Amino acid sequence: MNVVIVGGGTAGWSAALAFSQYKEYNITVIASKEIPIIGVGESTTGLFLDLIKNNFDELDFIKQTGSSYKIGIKHVNWLNGNDYFNSPLGYDIKDYDYYRLYHIAENKKFTSIQSALMENNQLPFVNGLPIEIHHKAYHLDTFKTGQYIKEQLLKQNKVKHIEDTVVQVNRNENGYIKNLITKNNQQIEGNLYIDCSGFKRLLSNHIPFKDYKDNLLVNKAISFHVKNKTIKNYTQATALKHGWIWEIPLQHRTGCGYVFCDKFITDEEAVKEIEQYVGDKIEIQKIISFNSGRLEKAFDKNVLTVGLSTAFVEPLEATSIHMSIFQINYYLNNTDNFNEESYNRDISNYWDNIRDFIILHYRSTRNDTEFWKEASSDKRLSNNLKSMLDIWKHRPPKDEDYGLFSKLALGNTLWLQILLGMNLLDKNMVKRDLIKKDLYDKSINEHLRVSKEIEYVTNNAISNTNFYLTS
């Protein structure tokens, strides 16, 4: 099968890498240096790490791209302007919802090896050997990452790269793409076309778009870089007066950006707020406007959309690269019995689940600005999230709750830590539920066991900064 990928960047070259693992695909990537990538130094989830580890020498990738390990997200000032909580990517304790609920019941910050490593800025390596934890991920320089994957694939003759720009899309009477015409008058044909052209949606701009603007308020981002003071093992998301700021530490710099709503603040005012936060003047890298939402169909005829072409909510929780890899894997794992309708339903539901998860972060008690009053208001809730929050007033969340609308969902693991950090569950209700199910004492014993493991690991684990100096 001939696969034609339109667009480079992290999404395009990741798609090429994933498809290159299967011999039945002949892959062509159309990408031009004339078209800048949106990425500004991005955070990922474990799915991207797995893609890299399965295909390349991981330490070489980290060294060549300046990437760093990420084991969680630190949320600062999201609740009341003077707070923080850690959200590990995954738990070293698997399937123990009761343990996570115990921390809610006792009003404790979540205790795990990963959260402790975040506090100490250490990595899960003791005497050069990895400590088994559920998830790690990367902080990326998206340009260097795309270049690395591209060079490796071309070196191995696994893909064909055409440096050109698509200027015309020709379709047959049934709506299937017949061929693409480039700026240099090349005619390119394929069986499957993958749209990785970002917000331009060169192959998919005819597909209806479902807007999330009624749920998610932010619509603009100003990106910039700062020098590293230390290389942190987590992404930091700090709530400011009119939005929030990301800090993504790489080995050579920290990529930052202020995400806000232009209804409440101008670009110039946003820059002033940034400079007040960092304590210095900044050099703006990009100013990006975006609409939160998704296409009604992620697959149409013979076009698979990936990355920003499919959907975007906002940079919070690194959902963009995660969903790029997820969508590709979902397609590749179901080619023998691929059903377009099922694929579109499942991907749409997954994106709606992510939307609701992001909304949850804004269920804040902050009311210091008009932005926070608006962002945290009940009218921002989707019908589904409102239903789940109503249920959770009476009992703790269950994995099957998210299955009310999707077999594909983020699930309790990630939801519970935000519910915990944002104080969104009644601790007395949770405690009663644990006692009723004879899980309270079990939770205490688990907490004591984990505390002992934490003591050993944190006393012996390598510091995050030293890891990059010695690798």
- Digit-coded pLDDT (tens) for 333-376: 999 899 999 999 999 999 999 999 999 999 999 999 999 999 99
* pLDDT higher than threshold 70 for residue 446: yes
- Write the CB contacts of 188 (distance below 8 Å, at least 6 apart in sequence): 4, 28, 30, 162, 179, 180, 181, 182
pLDDT of 412: 85
pTM of the model: 0.94
Report the residue count for the chain.
471
pLDDT of 92: 53
pLDDT digits (tens, 9 = 90+) for 378-419: 999 999 999 999 999 999 998 888 875 556 677 788 899 899
CATH 2.60.40.10 matches 2-67+138-212+292-338: no
* pLDDT higher than threshold 60 for residue 197: yes
DSSP letter string, 328-378: HHHHHTTGGG--HHHHHHHHHHHHHHHHHHHHHHT--S--SSHHHHHHTSG
pLDDT of 85: 92
Residue 34 — very low, low, confident or very high, per pLDDT cuts 50/70/90?
Answer: low
**92 DSSP assignment:** S
pLDDT digits (tens, 9 = 90+) for 79-138: 987 789 999 886 555 567 899 899 999 998 888 888 999 999 999 888 777 776 657 899
Give the amino acid at 41.
Answer: G
Burial call 263-299: b when 16+ CB within 10 Å, e when fewer: ebbeeeebbebbeeeeeeebeeeeebebebbbbebbb
Fold for the domain defined by 220-289? D-Amino Acid Oxidase; Chain A, domain 2 (3.30.9)
pLDDT digits (tens, 9 = 90+) for 14-23: 999 999 999 9
447 CB neighbour count, 10 Å cutoff: 15
From-to residues of CATH 3.50.50.60 in the chain = 2-67+138-212+292-338
Query: Mean pLDDT over all residues of the chain?
Result: 92
Residue 42 — very low, low, confident or very high, per pLDDT cuts 50/70/90?
Answer: confident
pLDDT of 136: 86
- 3-class SS at 140? strand
Beta strands in 92-131 (DSSP E): 122-126, 129-130
pLDDT of 228: 87
Question: Of all helices (H) and strands (E), which one includes residue 101?
Answer: helix 97-105
Give me the percent of the chain exceeding a pLDDT of 90: 79
| Largest CA-CA distance found in the chain, in angstroms, rounded | 71
From-to residues of CATH 3.30.9.100 in the chain = 220-289
pLDDT of 130: 76
Q: Are 98 and 442 in contact (CB under 8 A)?
A: yes
pLDDT of 301: 96
